[in-house]
Every structure is written in C-alpha cells, then in structure tokens.
Structure 1
Amino acid sequence: MIDERFQCEILRASRTRLFNLIEATTSDIIFKIPEGFNNNIMWQIGHCITSQQRHMYMRSGLPMYISKDFMELFKIGSAPATWQINPDVIEVKQLLSETINRLESDLQSGLFINYEPFELPIGIQVKNHIHALQAAIYHEAEHSGIINMYLKLLS
C-alpha cells in the first residue's frame, strides 16, 4: 500500500526547495527567459502548482485551490510571452505551501473518491488520485531540473 503521508513529504520537500529558490533569486532572473527557450523560472514553478491541482482535483471532480486566471497563466501550452503582467511572486510562494497543506488535509479526510483517468505525455496512464500524486512528484522533479539548468544559463 502507498504511504500517502510520505508522498506528501516528498512533494513538500520539493515545494520548499522551490520556495527557497524564489527567496534567494532576483526577480530579474526569475522572470528572464533563457535564450532559445519559451518559459522562465516563474512559469516552471507556477506550472508545477497548476499541474498538481489539475491532476489531483480537477480530474477528481473537485474544485481546485487556484484561480482560473492562475491556471491560464501556467497551464501546459502557456508561456510568459502572453502574460499581460508578471504573476504575483507572493501568491506563487503562498500557493507552494498552501496547496500541499490542503492536499495533505484532503487526503486524510478521504476527499478523493472519483477520478477521470488520463495519459501522461510519457505514455503512462494515471488511473486515480494516488497515481496523480506520484506523477506530481516526478513532474516537479523534472521541472526542478529545468529550473536548475535555467539558473546556470542565466548566471
């Protein structure tokens, strides 16, 4: 059986690293798009939050803890080139921790009952909220690698 609490600990550790990265990095770097790329560090972080919310909550038929506007900024296929203004850094930092806190609470309360399966771009079928949680961990690790690459390119 999957230990949901441990899975959340991993996700929380990832989110803490992203939070600390925002704190330690200038806005110029966070919002700069490296040459040859479409997105920036802020998009990578917001995209992690949005994907986790869509895959855990929306596919479970539950309301997400992010706004529709936030989702539109960071959903797959979006890019900073379409932003009218830069996203609020404070909101992103808050959502990094608030969404994992709520996820832990919602998992403990048994909120996730129904699930609309889908296939990840890597060819794996996500059949339930536990799969979605595990996929979120992989997804955030993948984007953390991209963020680290961006930091090297922009430094």
Structure 2
Amino acid sequence: MDSRFSHNLRTREFFISFIDKLTTEQLNEIPQGFSNNIIWNICHSMTSQQGLVYGLSLVDQQIPKELALRFRNGTKPEGFIQEKEINEFKEMLVPLIKKTSDDYDQGVFKEFKPYTTSTGYTMNDIEDAIQMNNIHEGLHLGYAMAILKAIH
C-alpha cells in the first residue's frame, strides 16, 4: 500500500479509538470556545476525503450523497448523533481508505478537476488531492484532540 494511504489509515485508527473510548455524549459534546465536536470532525474528514479524491476526479463517491452534504465544508453539527449511527460511521472509516487505495492502484482516477481550497492550496491532480487529504485529516485530528482535552 502506498505510504500516503498508510498514513491516512493511521489517522483513521485514531478516529476509531475516539469512538471506542468515548461515550456518545462525549463524542457529541461541543465545549465552550469550539464550534463543533469530535464526531463531526471524524465524519467531516471522511466525507471530505471522498470529495477531494473521488469528487474532483469525477468518479462516483463511495458514500451516500446525503452524508456528503451533511458533513461537507461549511457545515456544523446539526443535532445529537446516536450511537447506532456513530457505529455505522466507524465501520466506514477504514474500508473507504482501503477502497481508495485499491482504486488508485487500478488507475480509476484518470480525470481531475483542479480546485483551490479556501486556504489557497491548489490541487491539480490526484496526487495533490491525496496529499491535501492527509493534511486536512491531520488538521481535524488535531481539532478532535483539542476537543478531547477540553471535555476531560
């Protein structure tokens, strides 16, 4: 497996550890000074990966459209996420990266629509999108860790 996907899987393992160790209430808690919670950061990372890699490559995303819309850029937590749904998200985290790695190895990502992020980072091809995704997920892992510290 390409090291970029291995790194992404490591980030996903941290996300899974949060789900495994925290209560549903803790995952949903928005501490003072924050605008989101741990589970939103996890789901946002998952859906953003799909948009950056699949969406910009003009390939069908591997998640339901409603999920992508619910956690896309510019959204915020819109209510309490129940344990059942959290577990469904948890079960998607690793398989989505393994599928992306397989699709990458099989040359699925042939086209790419260049995109510039709000921070000015321009992605011109699938390689840029994979790199940007790892940066993005690392950022949201950091947010989740800060929230964890704030709720304990």
TM-score between both structures, scaled by the size of structure 2 = 0.94
User: What one-letter code is carried by the residue in structure 2 that aligns with 1:75?
Assistant: R
Aligned residue among 118, 121, 138 for 1:141: 138
Aligned residue among 80, 83, 86 for 2:81: 86
Question: Alignment partner of 2:111: what SS?
Answer: coil
Q: Matches of 2:70 and 2:121 in 1, distance apart?
A: 26
TM-score between both structures, scaled by the size of structure 1 = 0.92
Counterpart mapping for 1:24-43 below 5 A: 24-43=21-40
111-120 vs 31-40, greater mean Cα deviation: 31-40
Q: Matches of 1:77 and 1:142 in 2, distance apart?
A: 15
Question: Alignment partner of 1:99: what SS?
Answer: helix
Q: CA deviation at 1:48?
A: 0.4
Task: Give the corresponding residue for 2:15.
Answer: 18
Question: Alignment partner of 1:13: what SS?
Answer: helix
Matched, 1:53 2:50: yes
User: What one-letter code is carried by the residue in structure 2 that aligns with 1:34?
Assistant: P
Q: CA deviation at 1:77?
A: 1.2
Cα distance per residue 1:24-64 (max 9 Å; x no partner): 11111100111132211000000001111001001111110
Q: CA deviation at 1:121?
A: 2.0
Unmatched tracts of structure 2, length 5 or more: none
Unmatched tracts of structure 1, length 5 or more: none
Aligned residues: 150
Matched, 1:104 2:101: yes
The share of aligned pairs that are identical, in percent, is 27
Cα distance per residue 1:117-149 (max 9 Å; x no partner): 111222111011111000011101111111111
Q: CA deviation at 1:109?
A: 0.5
Pairwise CA RMSD of aligned residues? 1.3
